[in-house]
Amino acid sequence: MLKLSHISKTYQTGTEVTHALNDVSFEIQPNQLTVILGPSGSGKSTMLNILSGMDRPTTGSVTYDVKVINTESDQQLTEYRKKMVGFVFQFYNLISNLMVAENVAITAQLVSKQYQQPINDCLAQVGLQQREQNFPDQLSGGEMQRVAIARALAKHPRVLLCDEPTGALDTQTSQQVFKLLQASKNPQTAVVIVTHNPLVAQIADRVIRIRDGEVEKVSDNANPLTVE
Ligand code: ADP
Ligand code: ADP
């Protein structure tokens, strides 16, 4: 569904050149939870930016379904990101002066009406119907992240990209978030978690380990840990 072929990314700052990614290839499949695992500085943010169409590789190709997207226009890349990609961030990125229901509605509206699922359904999916009138600062961290997941799912993304989604949460709350993310994969949707936490690999169908900008290992997990 989403395929990276021989991706390299070089940053040049003045005379200093950084090879953030070097000949990276892998595929992301729907109905799977993929974990991209790597230590700080290994190239995870760079990879996220390329997967989401926020940035382009220096060389190599990004293919979405059968279409090479990295050579598309800026406008088309933005279109891809808006329609196809849902985001979940470490620090939730909710809009503080909007209520929960409005936070969830906002990305769905950005896409188009036909993608809109009633907001109540999305909040029910993450167990937060009773919170729709609350503001983000009235919620716990775990609840904020569940709202962020509802917001991302409201537009039925083909790829749900999660950047350290439990990086700011305690272990028990993290389990709830992982359970929801595991439940979010379906035949139309791939879930991708980018993290430095090796424990997260246990819940993955596929683990892509990166180090120093290179894919160290890709492993498929026939029996991922089901989060209860
Ligand atoms: P991670 O997210 O795993 O910490 P990054 O993708 O942020 O890794 O960084 C990979 C390497 O690329 C690091 O050496 C980092 O300093 C460098 N890098 C990332 N973004 C930039 C940028 N915009 N300009 C210059 N160097 C960058
Ligand atoms: P993360 O916490 O996700 O690993 P980073 O701290 O690696 O994030 O990077 C945060 C942002 O800063 C990234 O979007 C990246 O583009 C940029 N960045 C990282 N390293 C550098 C660098 N050496 N020079 C310029 N920008 C950088």
ipTM confidence score: 0.71
Q: Is the pLDDT of residue 50 over 90?
A: yes
Q: What is the mean pLDDT of the chain?
A: 93
Q: What pLDDT sits at residue 110? A: 62
d(C-alpha 134, C-alpha 146), whole Å: 13
Query: Is residue 45 lining ligand 2, measured as CB closer than 6 Å?
Result: yes
Instruction: Give the ligand 2 atom nearest the CA of 41.
Output: 7
Do 206 and 32 contact (CB within 8 A), yes or no?
yes
pLDDT tens track for 51-71: 999 999 999 999 999 899 999
pLDDT average, residue stretch 137-145: 96
First to last CA, the chain: 28
Q: Do 51 and 84 touch, CB atoms closer than 8 A?
A: no
Nearest protein Cα to ligand 2, atom 12 = 45
Q: Which residue(s) pair with 79 in the sheet?
A: none
Per-residue tokens: 74? 């800026």
Residues with CB under 6 A from ligand 1: 11, 13, 18, 20, 38, 40-46
